[in-house]
Amino acid sequence: MPEKFYITTPIYYPSDKLHIGHSYTTVAADAIARFKKLSGYDVYFLTGTDEHGQKIERKAAEKGMDPQRFVDEIVASIRQLWKTMNIEYDDFIRTTEDRHTAVVQKIFKKLYDQGDIYKSEYEGWYCTPCEAFWTQTQLKDGNCPDCGRKVERVKEESYFFRLSKYQDKLIKHIEENPDFIQPVSRRNEMLNNFLYPGLEDLSVSRTSFKWGVPVSFDDKHVVYVWIDALSNYITALGYLSDNDEKFKKYWPADIHLVGKEIVRFHTIIWPAILMALDLPLPKQVFGHGWLVLDGDKMSKSKGNVIDPVKLCSKYGVDAVRYFLLREIPFGSDGNFSNGALIYRINSDLANDLGNLVSRTVTMIDKYFDSVLPKASDTRAQDTELVEMASGLAKEVEASVNELQLSAALAHIWKLVGRCNKYIDETMPWALAKDSAQKPRLGTVLYNLAECIRIIAVLIGPFMPQTPDKIFAQLGISGNTDLTSWDSLAFGRLTPGIKVLKGDALFPRIDVEKELGTLNAQLQAGKPPETPEAAQISIDEFARVLLAVGKVVSCERIAGSDKLLKLQVALGQETRQIISGIAKWYPPEELVGKLVTVVTNLKPVKLKGELSEGMILCAEDSAGRLSIISPEKEVDHGCQIR
């Protein structure tokens, strides 16, 4: 019997535009679920939508729509997004489904009957966008501490859950189970910021709106977010229903994968509810970092969201999935920038992996008439490559088990890199010139093809469309013996199969052209600016570091009519900056000029050249660029404020 593995994402708020950041949790959970399936587990992967609450009620009313119809439309688009992103979930739970609401009512009643829920009065501050209640001391400058927006004063009768009763038991559980909250920084945060200072009982019902699960024994009240939303993880499995087979089989969850901002709900409130229900706790809650845009969290109101559908249709789902999983390091935030995305696609996918596959298949085609040769002349030169390929599955598995997805991909790309180096070392084109070297040439190409097969099997969970394309080129499509977990030992590929040259796996992108288009798209995706959205705080402005630079040298970049390569002195250091001003400035005119430089931009490569900053220009209506230079002579390196 295979071991069970139950993984969940949070259930998503029905937002009409989920952005690329939202996709991260689901893509990461999907990759983990697929990897576990590949490695032999009986996996159950749950996602869904969190559809109740005042915010939805208000939005539907604004549109003159019934809330159910309002959410139905949005949820359909969310399901479509997951389809586009190749998310292979086993179940999709909606909190408006009867199978959920009926059980939420039972849970609420059970907790009330046993005295874990009691009636009292709630008074405090409510943030509608976050659907969160705050006490006076929790507010930040009188506003919501999470989103900074205005809060409303509310006072109403409410049912309370005895969260405080479970405080000591929770602390004990967290202290005794170091893996329960991961990464460890989040575990410390929960203990130090919330549990050790002490928990207050939690308001778990509302009378101020109607769009929620009615409390079965008091119809003035609806169940407020916590018990409703968090219970999805067990209602979906049939807990307290006529058929609880899945619940018996899959609960407790092996992993609740959540974004870092909702770790508190999943590691304090949810376990306390489970303790009250006398149910086992999830084995692990993992709080991942965010995908940020230039250091800022993506949000519709900030107008800085990136549309995942557009990205997928432009670059392909696998490239976008690869970027997300590679760019967000274990537990930390990762930055989205068009430059970083294109850099990853060009360098890791087109250059490293794509070229490896096409070079290998082309050489087998050319030197062996497309028939895979056998490895009859193995030498010491092959040992490192073969050992690396043989140990890869274990290494990747260990990283996935620690949810270090970026590291898992890095392991795979280490082998990709080693294969490319092996081609340079063995020089098959030189071996091909000498017929006596044919067995050696065959061995080299066999080793490469076998490494590519292993790489293709292991990237499948992360990039589900790519393996089949590679298997087709290797001539092993549909041969499950060669594409399964058990096939990952080195040497399974049988000589004699016919390889088939195919299209480039990941076509290279013209960086200049693409960055222009993407930035324009980002502009177009912004909502009409409200005065509030257009303004930034002094702190936000202060995050952009500007300095005066002096151009030391400047030259054109071969093959580009737009780009100049400048060496710019900035006080103690000199940086290379690539700037798209070639049309407006001959290189020699810029030498000695003082320019304005953004100094804390993430470096990018443009036309293969590293750019460590940006030179600011004014652009007139005809698109002509003019460098911004200080009015008086000042020292280079001085700050611009």
**Contact set with ligand MSP (CB under 6 A):** 10-13, 21-22, 24-25, 50, 229-230, 258-259, 261-262, 290-291, 297-298
Query: What are the E-state strand segments in 237-340?
Result: 255-259, 285-288, 291-293, 296-297, 334-336
b/e 395-410 (16+ beta carbons within 10 angstroms → b): bbbebbeebbbbbbbb
Q: Quick one: 12 or 133, whose CB is closer to ligand MSP?
A: 12
The two three-digit tokens of residue 307, written as one number? 């549309």
Q: Quick one: 229 or 375, whose CB is closer to ligand MSP?
A: 229
Residue of 490, 498, 509 whose CA lies nearest to 451: 490
Residue of 637, 594, 375 whose CA lies nearest to 490: 375
Q: Quick one: 24 or 585, whose CB is closer to ligand MSP?
A: 24
The secondary element (H helix, E strand) that includes residue 158 is strand 152-161
Q: Quick one: 81 or 594, whose CB is closer to ligand MSP?
A: 81
Count other Cβ atoms within 10 Å, centred on residue 318. Answer: 22
Q: Quick one: 201 or 296, whose CB is closer to ligand MSP?
A: 296
The two three-digit tokens of residue 308, written as one number? 């995942």
Q: Quick one: 230 or 493, whose CB is closer to ligand MSP?
A: 230
Query: Minimal distance in Å, beta carbon 10 to ligand MSP?
Result: 3
Residue of 400, 490, 415 whose CA lies nearest to 38: 400
**597 with 548: CB under 8 angstroms?**
yes
| Three-state SS at 400 | helix
**89 with 30: CB under 8 angstroms?**
yes
Query: Minimal distance in Å, beta carbon 271 to ligand MSP?
Result: 13
| Positive or negative torsion for Cα 105, 108, 112, 113 | positive
Residue of closest CB approach to ligand MSP: 259
Query: Minimal distance in Å, beta carbon 321 to ligand MSP?
Result: 14
**366 with 348: CB under 8 angstroms?**
no
Q: Quick one: 341 or 458, whose CB is closer to ligand MSP?
A: 341
Query: Minimal distance in Å, beta carbon 171 to ligand MSP?
Result: 22
Burial of 159 (0-12, 13-18, 19+ CB in 10 A): buried
Count other Cβ atoms within 10 Å, centred on residue 98. Answer: 7
**256 with 264: CB under 8 angstroms?**
no
Q: Quick one: 298 or 577, whose CB is closer to ligand MSP?
A: 298
Query: Minimal distance in Å, beta carbon 250 to ligand MSP?
Result: 17
Query: Minimal distance in Å, beta carbon 259 to ligand MSP?
Result: 2
First to last CA, the chain: 66
Query: Minimal distance in Å, beta carbon 237 to ligand MSP?
Result: 14
Query: Minimal distance in Å, beta carbon 261 to ligand MSP?
Result: 6
Q: Quick one: 259 or 271, whose CB is closer to ligand MSP?
A: 259
Query: Minimal distance in Å, beta carbon 115 to ligand MSP?
Result: 25
Query: Minimal distance in Å, beta carbon 544 to ligand MSP?
Result: 20
Q: Quick one: 12 or 35, whose CB is closer to ligand MSP?
A: 12
Query: Minimal distance in Å, beta carbon 89 to ligand MSP?
Result: 14
**Helix 20-38 and helix 317-327, axial crossing angle in degrees, nearest 10:** 90
d(CA 370, CA 503): 16
Count other Cβ atoms within 10 Å, centred on residue 445. Answer: 26
The strand pair at 205-206 and 222-223 is best described as antiparallel
Query: Minimal distance in Å, beta carbon 290 to ligand MSP?
Result: 4
The two three-digit tokens of residue 527, written as one number? 């909502």
Query: Minimal distance in Å, beta carbon 502 to ligand MSP?
Result: 34
Q: Quick one: 253 or 509, whose CB is closer to ligand MSP?
A: 253
Identify how many contiguous H helices and E strands the chain contains and give both numbers.
24, 26
Q: Quick one: 229 or 568, whose CB is closer to ligand MSP?
A: 229
Query: Minimal distance in Å, beta carbon 81 to ligand MSP?
Result: 12
Q: Quick one: 100 or 221, whose CB is closer to ligand MSP?
A: 100
The two three-digit tokens of residue 548, written as one number? 């005066």
**527 with 300: CB under 8 angstroms?**
yes
The two three-digit tokens of residue 405, written as one number? 């997805």
| Residue whose pair of structure tokens reads 């659907």 in the numeric block | 131
Residue of 153, 161, 157, 228 whose CA lies nearest to 199: 161
Q: Quick one: 25 or 54, whose CB is closer to ligand MSP?
A: 25
Residue of 275, 161, 157 whose CA lies nearest to 221: 157
Sequence-ordered list of residues with C-beta below 8 angstroms from that of 259, at least 6 positions apart, any chain: 10, 24, 25, 287, 288, 290
